[in-house]
Structure 1
Amino acid sequence: MHAKRLTASVCTVLLIISLVLSACGSSESSQKSGEQKLDKDQTLNLFFESPTTLDVNDVRNSSEFQLLTQVQEGLVRTYTDKNGKEKIEPAGAKSWKITDNGKVYTFKLRDYKWSDGKKVTAQNYVDSVIRLLDPKKAFAYAFFAYDIKNAEKYNAGKAKAGDVGVKALDDNTLQITLEKPTPQFNKKFGFVALFPIRLDVIKKGGETYATDYKAQVFSGPFIIKSWVKDNSLVLKKNPKYWDAKNVHLKTVNFKTVEETSTQASLFQSKQTDVIAGTQQYIKKWAAEAKQGKIQYIHGNTPLTSYIVFNQKTGGTSGLLKNAKIRQALSLAINRQDLVKLVFGRYRPAYGLIPNGIQVGDKDYRDDVAQPLKPLYDKYNGNKSELQRLFKEGLKELGVNKKLGDVTLTLITTGTDALSKSEQEYYQQEWEKNLGIKVKLNILESKLFVADRNANKYDLLLNGWFGDYNDPSTFVDMWTTNNGFSKFFGYYSSKKYDQLYQSLDGVTDDAQREKIYAALEKQLIAEDAGVAPIYYGDSQYFVQNYVKNISFPLFGTPIDFSRTYISGKQ
């Protein structure tokens, strides 16, 4: 949610846009619109990070998931019930059946329309899957459809589009055939990158289609009315939406605000309606929630933040190809102090997969020990051992340098006070514990992307928000040549790839869990392919007059499609 995935953003941006709930908090206001009088002014005000694309097949960032799930409609919608359980409900599909031992999915579409009045058809879904997999497009999420028959082969140029197991049996019937039974596939089919598309609209929009809101047609509860990039975006109710009678909001205003203190002022003055709690504000607002002044929703979230190592070129220093150097950098970070002193929230991460992700009915993190913890306990706080490990890495590379002569470059975005505190914490930890120098290169988004793509970095900050409730959403992105490889340092391991392939056709939950644990250990502890730093949580505060707002576990951070305003006036 749902994720959502990050590419060019500092992990702390997720404070604005990421949320999931557990049993300690309700996922939505309990009132139904029929039980209360709706205000005349049905306007919702939210913070957000400006999206980089409106193309559902090219979705990557949390901001894009947030927007596209509200202006487009896929087969299903996901939400989280009052007990923190993930639920799915029919949306574009009114029903479906699964046959052939779990290999064939047949969806019956409801009669719904695009905002220009044309019917949404099964072929629109077929076109989306084929376009997502088109090897010439190189969409990052192409791998997400690999469960479908011949999808991976087509994406690799080894099969034809017509061989892919997705067909429109008629305008209202979509059939998807998998390579083999895949337990987690039924958690995927509401995913944004699989939403229907209009090839005629895309063709007409040309090169600017993906960033021109006026070139779009919409099938969801809202349409985009205006967009000032990196500043604000306005949604209006879509009168042609199939369930428009249950969409009560007339306007949704998004605004980009970086500074935490400014966000807090806007929330306190009721100029915004939902806010993520950070630092000192959590305690203050939690007390106000106890007094009934605002709503407080909190729990786990399927997010892991990372420090990414440049393993393609070794970085600007040329050193990051070495596993021992990466390991020393990972182990030098005191995660407990970070979450306590800098954020005042979150859980230290010593694994890849966060709390709340399930294998079958079991919580994976409750069942599997975190693979980095034993090494962390051995090395953390022991400067001499950490430095010895780093020096061994230098020796293996044939580099004759003193630690004080080593300079690594960390690139990131984020100029607000909280981001700066996080960036400086890493810099201080590495310089103090390893005796090296670390250069902070804080860039605006476009320059960050340019430097990342040009490999002008050693380290960068990123995070991964799970897309569905299974560990595979955290392990699949690390396979060689995955569409997200460049965002996460180009990690590549034949052993990891082979372990991942061993999941094929495995339906037994216990066996799948063992393979996931082996993958996690290989990536995090043995290869030090990435450094997990913290697992996310949700600390959200909502104005009392906002009713029936939902914070799904996966899909979109906030679903306001059935939200309404009552009692603000």
Structure 2
Amino acid sequence: MCSKKLTATICAVLLIITSLLTACGSSESNQSSGQQPDKNQTLNLFFESPTTLDVNDVRNSSEFQILSQVQEGLVRTYTDKNGKEKTVPAGAKSWKITNGGTVYTFKLRNYKWSDGKEVTAQNYVDSVLRLLDPKKAFSYAFFAYDIKNAEKYYAGKAKAKDVGVKALDDKTLQFTLEKPTPQFNKKFGFVALFPIRLDVIKKGGETYATDYKAQVFSGPFVIKSWVKDNSLVLKKNPKYWDAKNVHLKTVNLKKVDETSTQASLFQSKQTDVIAAQQQYIKKWAGESKQGKIQYIHGNTPLTSYIVFNQKSGGTSGLLKNAKIRLALSLAINREDLVKLVFGRYRPAYGLIPNGIQVGNKDYRDDVAQPLKPLYDKYNGNKSELQELFKEGLKELGVKKRLSDITFTLITTGTDALSKSEQEYYQQEWEKNLGVKVKLNVLESKLFVAQRNANKYDLLLNGWFGDYNDPSTFTDMWTANNGFSKFFGFYSDKKYDAYYKKLDGVTDDAQREKIYAQLEDLLIAKDAGVAPIYYGDSQYFVQNYVKNISFPLFGTPIDFSRAYISGKE
């Protein structure tokens, strides 16, 4: 989710980031103990308001959170009592893989949309073809490129009928891939591949994507009400195929920005789950040891970045130069940032975070972080950092004093934590490089407008892995990727050539070597983006919340089988 999933600013994601369970609060640990649900089945959560309800146009973590609970894909992912990912049949009741790993055939279960119509294999076919429609230009179109002729269709070099997705009958869906692709079976439950209803989309017209009343739902819940940028209410979907195992009647989601306000609401039990920050982690971890609350923590597939505007060079005109970008990246003391500002996370010197595997090996345990040697060389040495920056200026033919250069950082975060982060970057660059940095904190719509108009040098963003393979982090930097505009329009033909080497490669050691080449080129040699920290999960849950799940990939929180017991 998303991710997995794109964020306007990384602080927005951190309110609802997903986790790998390493402690209590598993998805299976409570019902089996004989605890009975209360009469009042209401769950209260924080959230970030989604920008779209169109599954094909999903981009942000907030959208994955809502859409994963109101729609149903082929599979659903939970975490078991040991914190391990568990993928179970959902819209599909079974599937088989044939023809050397290139043909995937799914048998759909009998399940319905909220208007009573049957979900069919054609609904899935329509979704894939709409996702790939070049006129739509959906950001996640590349996600389906494993499918035969999918990329050609998106490029206008093949027709829809040539794409390897077919409805063999109403309940049989088949994908044919270009070549064996090890990570494809990890994409089954991805929101952008969920089924759609073309008739509903047509009827909804231009406002379909943002009008909850125009939607039909196939998941555990339906949207009852939505006050944008404020609150959203879900109700149980009585037509859901597994409604008997959905206990929650109502889920109230509320947008609350300030960390202190969130903490107060959690302590007074006005909200049931919180992703803790700063001093609250230590406080509540202590309370969890006393049995007062549940503490769920571990890795999460998230890397935060500082993005450089490489299309126009930014408002300064300087960011097309790799040495200038590298100097800006190396000027940030990541250790101090995670310790002093956040009180959590791991400093990032690579693209791919902890917990991502190649085969059965953790990639980060096997591959050294490419930026770390350079960081160790330049850390604390202002004169060498400034000399590196000046070399970049010379390559551009720019004759300016460092003190005459101003960079513009755009962001949307207005809460106290976001402000601390923004000011930290500003101080580091001004102190270590001698340049000036203008902070431009904007409301969301203006932020998007400024970004799209290239009126920035730097912005804060992050990427949440969509599935458990390094390709979920490496594929988004290829040429013509749908997310290019969100990450500064990085482009390098050498990077694309490295990525092409992955085609048809199933040997894990060989794939890991290629991923390492991609990471080194992007992060250290090209300085295409500056990784800042790897995410972690620090969730606290009220004791009366049972069976809630925090998948490592997909939705941040899956509460579809959760229930309340012992609150009354």
Q: TM-score range by the shorter chain?
A: over 0.9
- Taking the aligned partners of 1:332 and 1:402, their CA distance within structure 2 comes to 18
Residue number in structure 2 paired with 1:167: 166
Report if aligned partners of 1:78, 1:190 keep a CA contact under 8 Å in 2.
yes
Query: What are the superposed Cα offsets for residues 429-474 of structure 1, whole Å, 9 maximum, x if unpaired?
Result: 0000000000000001111000000000000000000000000000
Matched, 1:74 2:76: no
Q: Post-superposition shift, 1:93?
A: 0.1
Residue number in structure 1 paired with 2:145: 146
Report if aligned partners of 2:25, 2:294 keep a CA contact under 8 Å in 1.
no
Residue identity over aligned pairs, in percent, reads 87
Q: Post-superposition shift, 1:6?
A: 1.9
Secondary structure of the structure 1 residue equivalent to 2:204: helix
- Taking the aligned partners of 2:95 and 2:228, their CA distance within structure 1 comes to 39
Report if aligned partners of 1:2, 1:553 keep a CA contact under 8 Å in 2.
no
Secondary structure of the structure 2 residue equivalent to 1:16: coil
Matched, 1:4 2:1: no
Q: Post-superposition shift, 1:38?
A: 1.3
Query: What are the superposed Cα offsets for residues 26-74 of structure 1, whole Å, 9 maximum, x if unpaired?
Result: 5436111781121111000000000000000000000000000000000
Matched, 1:455 2:487: no
Secondary structure of the structure 2 residue equivalent to 1:271: coil
Residue number in structure 1 paired with 2:29: 30
Report if aligned partners of 2:322, 2:392 keep a CA contact under 8 Å in 1.
yes
Q: Post-superposition shift, 1:3?
A: 1.1
- Taking the aligned partners of 2:550 and 2:44, their CA distance within structure 1 comes to 16
1:511 partner amino acid: Q
Gaps of at least 5 residues in structure 1 are none
Query: What are the superposed Cα offsets for residues 172-222 of structure 1, whole Å, 9 maximum, x if unpaired?
Result: 000000000000000011100000000000000000000000000000000
- Taking the aligned partners of 1:145 and 1:329, their CA distance within structure 2 comes to 35
Report if aligned partners of 1:21, 1:27 keep a CA contact under 8 Å in 2.
no
Residue number in structure 1 paired with 2:509: 510
Residue number in structure 1 paired with 2:90: 91
Residue number in structure 1 paired with 2:420: 421
The ranges of structure 1 where at least 4 consecutive aligned residues each deviate by more than 6 angstroms after the TM superposition are: none
Report if aligned partners of 2:23, 2:295 keep a CA contact under 8 Å in 1.
no
Query: What are the superposed Cα offsets for residues 344-368 of structure 1, whole Å, 9 maximum, x if unpaired?
Result: 0000000000000000000000000
Report if aligned partners of 1:305, 1:532 keep a CA contact under 8 Å in 2.
yes
2:518 partner amino acid: L
1:490 partner amino acid: F
Residue number in structure 2 paired with 1:341: 340
Q: Post-superposition shift, 1:251?
A: 0.2
Residue number in structure 2 paired with 1:306: 305
Correspondences of 1:240-389 after superposition (within 5 Å): 240-389=239-388
Report if aligned partners of 2:411, 2:447 keep a CA contact under 8 Å in 1.
yes
Distance 1:543 1:23, change over 3 A: closer
Distance 1:480 1:169, change over 3 A: same
Q: Post-superposition shift, 1:5?
A: 1.1
Q: Post-superposition shift, 1:277?
A: 1.1
- Taking the aligned partners of 2:38 and 2:121, their CA distance within structure 1 comes to 38
Report if aligned partners of 2:25, 2:547 keep a CA contact under 8 Å in 1.
no
Q: Structure 2 length as normaliser, TM-score?
A: 0.99
Residue number in structure 2 paired with 1:58: 57
Report if aligned partners of 1:112, 1:241 keep a CA contact under 8 Å in 2.
yes
Secondary structure of the structure 2 residue equivalent to 1:204: helix
Distance 1:24 1:382, change over 3 A: farther
Secondary structure of the structure 2 residue equivalent to 1:428: helix
- Taking the aligned partners of 1:219 and 1:533, their CA distance within structure 2 comes to 38
1:63 partner amino acid: S
1:514 partner amino acid: K
Q: Post-superposition shift, 1:25?
A: 5.2
Correspondences of 1:368-447 after superposition (within 5 Å): 368-447=367-446
Report if aligned partners of 2:2, 2:60 keep a CA contact under 8 Å in 1.
no
- Taking the aligned partners of 2:494 and 2:556, their CA distance within structure 1 comes to 34
Q: Structure 1 length as normaliser, TM-score?
A: 0.99
Matched, 1:119 2:130: no
Report if aligned partners of 2:100, 2:180 keep a CA contact under 8 Å in 1.
yes
Report if aligned partners of 2:546, 2:564 keep a CA contact under 8 Å in 1.
yes
Query: What are the superposed Cα offsets for residues 487-535 of structure 1, whole Å, 9 maximum, x if unpaired?
Result: 0000000000000011000000000000000000000000000000000
Residue number in structure 2 paired with 1:546: 545
- Taking the aligned partners of 1:20 and 1:536, their CA distance within structure 2 comes to 9
